[in-house]
Amino acid sequence: MYNLSGNTNDFLTSTKDHYENFPVASFLIPKDYRKDIAIVYWFARTADDIADEGMFDADYRFEKLEHFEKQFIYSLENESENVNFNLLSTIIKKNNLSTNYFIDLISAFKQDITKFRYENYSQVLDYCKRSANPVGRILLELFKVRDENAVKCSDKICTALQLTNFYQDTGIDYKKGRIYYPKDEMKMFSVTEKMFELKENNSNIKALVKYNIDRTQQLFNEGRDIINYLSGRFKYEIKWTISGGEKILSKIVKKDFNVFSYRPVLNKFDYFNLLIKSMFNG
């Protein structure tokens, strides 16, 4: 596990080992908030890594996540042997953060160990509600934004970012045995799992991916009002994050919806270009 007891910048540097579509506590975040965000990221990233430790069997990973959850709950009222949990507990109490959001994150990672197919879009949204939306809500609470409509907008943006990651990682997820495209929609476009296995970029697959990307872009559009509830550098950080998600979608479109042989990522030019646009456009 990462150790945040030292310099926060050391931890943030270690996050480079994990590619992200969004900046993690970048320079745009006021210095006083960076360690708080870093420890929240540590919590989410560590739990996610446990769920994805492919060299261990499912039972072991599930038990390890349950132990992680018990450590977290214990640390809320007691001194933990893990300094990171103590730091997180302090930050939760200082900022009056909702502990249920952290429990929701763990429940989603547990689900990744046991659930590999989704019957419909509602089931996918339920997963996003616990795997992504809590992160946005925690950030809003850290920055003292508790407006109900702001939370709704945040949920749409976070869900859109999670869905974008699914499409970006279609091939990677399939190797892990997971398909996040709803089964009823695969049937609607006459897409079979065999096509995933053979990495067929046929018209059926393209139609399925386009359908999902269009719907996800609509979520970005509907959630964009979150910007109106933010201020200062945090506002630009979130604009930058939204732009990054939309850029990934546009790259998939430009590659003719080929999600098997091409995994879109943001390069340094993309990050810089999106940063400039986020700071000076709109």
Write out pLDDT tens, residues 133-185: 999 999 999 999 999 999 999 999 999 999 999 999 999 999 999 999 999 99
Q: Any idea what DSSP says for residue 199?
A: T
| Residue pair 278/243 in contact by the 8 Å Cβ criterion | yes
Q: Among all chains, which residue has been given the structure tokens 């890594």?
A: 49
| Residue pair 156/119 in contact by the 8 Å Cβ criterion | no
- What phi and psi values does residue 145 have, to the nearest 5 degrees? -105, 110
- Residue of 150, 137, 152 lying closest to 95 (CA atoms): 137
Angle (CA) 153 208 212, round 5°: 5
Q: What is the pLDDT of residues 77-123, one digit of tens each?
A: 999 999 999 999 999 999 999 999 999 999 999 999 999 999 999 99
Q: What is the 3-state secondary structure (H, E, C) of 13-61?
A: HHHHHCCCCCCCCCCCCCHHHHHHHHHHHHHHHHHHHHHCCCCCCHHHH
Q: Which fold has domain 8-275?
A: Farnesyl Diphosphate Synthase (1.10.600)
pLDDT at site 13: 43
Write down the domain spans for the chain. 8-275
pLDDT at site 29: 82
Residue 6, Cα to own-chain centre: how many angstroms?
25
Amino acid at site 165: N
pLDDT at site 3: 47
Confidence of residue 271 (pLDDT cuts 50, 70, 90): confident
pLDDT at site 6: 47
Provide Rg for the chain, Cα atoms.
19
